[in-house]
Amino acid sequence: QKEVEQNSGPLSVPEGAIASLNCTYSDRGSQSFFWYRQYSGKSPELIMSIYSNGDKEDGRFTAQLNKASQYVSLLIRDSQPSDSATYLCAVIEGYGGSQGNLIFGKGTKLSVKP
Amino acid sequence: EPEVTQTPSHQVTQMGQEVILRCVPISNHLYFYWYRQILGQKVEFLVSFYNNEISEKSEIFDDQFSVERPDGSNFTLKIRSTKLEDSAMYFCASSDGTDEKLFFGSGTQLSVL
């Protein structure tokens, strides 16, 4: 059973701080990794995708991937109260996993305090 | 900005009844998906659909489930005989196939009584 694990939180950070969200995955063959944001009662919204080892930056967000450690992280700089949401890590199953068959973690709930 | 639309937003049904959840994917997208999320649980893959046929389905997607693209714009999920455990938020998603980014609709909250 392929698994994606995340600390459920809640992770509480003050406004303006860096929030660090972590994810591990069990399928060593996975090649595609995503971070989604989900507000309570709403649908997942894609924030970042990452496919290669290292860092990928987009505005206040940085995704980090380490395939050897099977570890993905998301850093949110200058956190804002509007960033308060559940952050979902998602992985496409490797070695034959088809496009769109995302395996989601349970999510980490982030709370940014003003 | 193009978006995936789903109707209805809420559906209440009696156990054993059939329900049809409807989705209009983004117009130039070719790949369509259904996911579900039971309250407090993970988002789970149900089925993917491409070129008018199912590409892949999960163990959840058993014989009581079916999908259809009845015309050029709609994509539907039918649950033939609903069970209590089918109560969940059902999300439709689509992608254009050039990368693996999925865009989700706002969901249909299904409550089976």
In this prediction, residues A77-106 reach a mean pLDDT of: 86
CB contact (8 A) between residue A99 and residue B48: yes
Chain B residues close to A100, C-beta within 8 Å: 31, 33, 45, 48, 55-56, 93, 95, 100, 102
B42–A99 CB contact, under 8 Å: no
The answer to whether A48 and A74 are in contact (CB under 8 A) is yes
Of A49, A63, A41, A53, residue with least CA distance to A102? A49
Residues A39-48 pLDDT 10s? 999 999 999 9
Q: How many CB atoms lie within 10 A of CB B77?
A: 25
Is residue A86 packed enough to be buried (19+ CB in 10 Å), middle (13-18) or exposed (0-12)? buried
Note whether B42 contacts A104, CB cutoff 8 Å: yes
pLDDT tens profile B21-43 = 999 999 989 999 999 999 999 99
pLDDT of residue A98: 59
CA–CA separation, A71 and A26 (whole Å): 9
Q: What is the DSSP string of chain B?
A: ----EEE-SEEEE-TT--EEEEEE--TT--EEEEEEE-TTS-EEEEEEEETTEEEEE-TT--TTEEEE--SSS-EEEEESS--GGG-EEEEEEEE-SSSS--EE---EEEEE-
| Buried-state track B11-41, b at ≥16 Cβ within 10 A, e below 16 | bebeeeeebebbbbbbeebebbbbbbbeeee
The token duo for A83 is: 């960033």
Note whether A106 contacts B42, CB cutoff 8 Å.
yes
Q: What is the distance in angstroms between the Cα of B108 and the nearest Cα belonging to chain A?
A: 10
- Percent of chain A surpassing pLDDT 70: 94
Low-confidence ranges of chain B (pLDDT < 70): none
Interchain proximity B105–A44, CB inside 8 Å = no
Which of B102, B105, B106 shows the shortest C-beta gap to A102? B102
Looking at the partner chain, which of B42, B48, B101 has a beta carbon nearest the beta carbon of A49? B101
**Contact assignment for B31 to A99 by CB distance below 8 Å:** yes
- CA dist B82 and B20 (Å) reads 11
Handedness of CA B110, A25, A101, A59 (dihedral sign): positive
